[in-house]
Amino acid sequence: MQVGTADSVPGELVTGWLDVTDLPTGTPERLPVLIAEGTEDGPTLWVTASIHGNEVTGLAAAQDLMTDELPEEIAGTVVCLPNLNPAGLRRNTRTSYYDDEDPNRYFPDSDAESTRPPSVQQLIDERVYDEFAESADALVDLHTAHVGSVPFLIRDRVLYGEQRTENEAHELAGELERLCEAFGMPVVNEYAAEEYTEQNLQRSTAGAALNNAGIPAFTAELGGHDVVEEDVRAAAVTGLRNVMCELGMLAGEPTPDAVGYDAPVDFSVKRCVGPHTETPGIVRHRKEAGDVVSEGDVIADVVTPHGEPKATVEAEHDGYVLGRMHGVAAYENDPLASLAVRDDGDLVVPRDDD
């Protein structure tokens, strides 16, 4: 297998670069590539990370997965791109300087239409997509989440319609479920279908792999951003090896309990940004990441610059806190936290579901 200048060799770990665009300064923008190919045939797992430049625990976990010994252990191939956004990494920011929008919203979508030519970030994402769509049997995309976030996995809903039948979507959702369970971190379902496409999440790395290319793919949110959280990094490496066990690439059974993170509730949950505050002011949180909440529980107080109470903000659903939003200064309708809330929705839905 060849990705960019990395040309795999059975039983070896090889490295190289994938050129994705040319810079005005005369040099190419290059993504690092590592390929571990076993001596026996098997599936191809892609591991991508750090498309948001300051989400560095995923970068470290991807690097540490790819050891010199890995090719001797596996049947099949692991392709790893540990940094999808070198421009963001250079300045330790979420976005690149080619385009200050979210770089994880430009992967191909069969329904996407535009009268304008693609931006450089869209071209980069399309070139990465072409590489994994050609060879991946599964994909795990590594991220980090909000301030002080607990680790969790995002499982996208599988859409059906022009791309696949409902039966095909259920089969794909089943493959995705067993990979998420094998990884071993709490699973949080993605937004309902209408909000999912409204936020262009079908054009994220994992969303495009799953819902456009039909590859079982999920996102691992590995704690907070900006610094490597070493305990979460180590757990992520274990989780990735669990996925390889589930795929039959590594001998033995997955050990999800070894990852060390359990969901604090026993019901199915989905991502929820909120609650929001109607009152601007200084936010004083009452709940921390991992805390279980019930509808009506106070999440935070809003106070004046002098510290005088202005309002309380309550949870609108049962669930638990994933993490807090950055900063304490809040404007009208700002979200204060990210929650995992009770989810009774279907995991397989029509693309145009309202």
127's CB contacts (< 8 A; 6+ apart) are 18, 20, 21
Are the beta carbons of 244 and 238 closer than 8 angstroms?
Answer: no
At 354 the pLDDT is 44
> How many other C-beta atoms are found inside a 10 Å radius of the C-beta of residue 54?
19
At 197 the pLDDT is 84
| pLDDT over 50 (residue 245) | yes
Are the beta carbons of 147 and 326 closer than 8 angstroms?
Answer: yes
Q: Dihedral sign for Cα 211, 213, 218, 220, please.
A: negative
| pLDDT over 80 (residue 71) | yes
At 97 the pLDDT is 87
Domain that holds residue 286: 269-342
Mean pLDDT of 12-35: 97
Place of tokens 């980069």: 124
44's CB contacts (< 8 A; 6+ apart) are 1, 76, 77, 78, 79, 135, 136, 137, 138
**What's the pLDDT tens digit per position in 261-294?**
999 999 999 999 999 999 999 999 999 999 999 9
| pLDDT over 90 (residue 111) | no
Mean pLDDT of 320-340: 96
Q: How many domains does the chain have?
A: 2
Amino acid letter, 112: A
233 dihedral zone (left: phi>0; alpha: psi -120 to 50; beta): alpha
Residues 70 and 144 in one domain: yes
Residues 156 and 299 in one domain: no
Which pairing describes strands 75-81 and 152-155: parallel, antiparallel, or unpaired? unpaired
At 199 the pLDDT is 87
Residues 285 and 182 in one domain: no
Neighbour-count burial of 262, counting CB atoms closer than 10 A to its CB (0-12 exposed, 13-18 middle, 19+ buried): exposed
Looking at residue 207, which CATH number applies to its domain?
3.40.630.10
The H-or-E segment that residue 127 falls in is helix 120-135
Place of tokens 């591991």: 47
Helix (H, G, I), strand (E, B) or coil at 110: coil
pLDDT > 90: percent of the chain: 90
Looking at residue 331, which CATH number applies to its domain?
2.40.50.100
Give the end-to-end CA distance of the chain in Å, rounded to a whole number.
42
Please state, in angstroms and as integers, the Cα–Cα distance from residue 290 to each residue in 131, 143, 190, 223, 248, following that order.
Answer: 37, 18, 18, 11, 33
At 136 the pLDDT is 98
Mean pLDDT of 101-124: 88
Residues 163 and 282 in one domain: no
Phi, psi of 173 (to 5 degrees): -65, -35
Mean pLDDT of 161-169: 94
Helix (H, G, I), strand (E, B) or coil at 330: strand
Residue 353 lies inside a defined structural domain of this protein:
no
At 100 the pLDDT is 80
Residue 350 lies inside a defined structural domain of this protein:
no
The H-or-E segment that residue 154 falls in is strand 152-155
Residue 186 lies inside a defined structural domain of this protein:
yes
Of 12, 11, 29, the residue nearest 20 (C-alpha): 29
Residues 217 and 320 in one domain: no
Q: Which DSSP state fits 185?
A: S
Largest pairwise CA distance in the chain: 67
Phi, psi of 278 (to 5 degrees): -85, -15
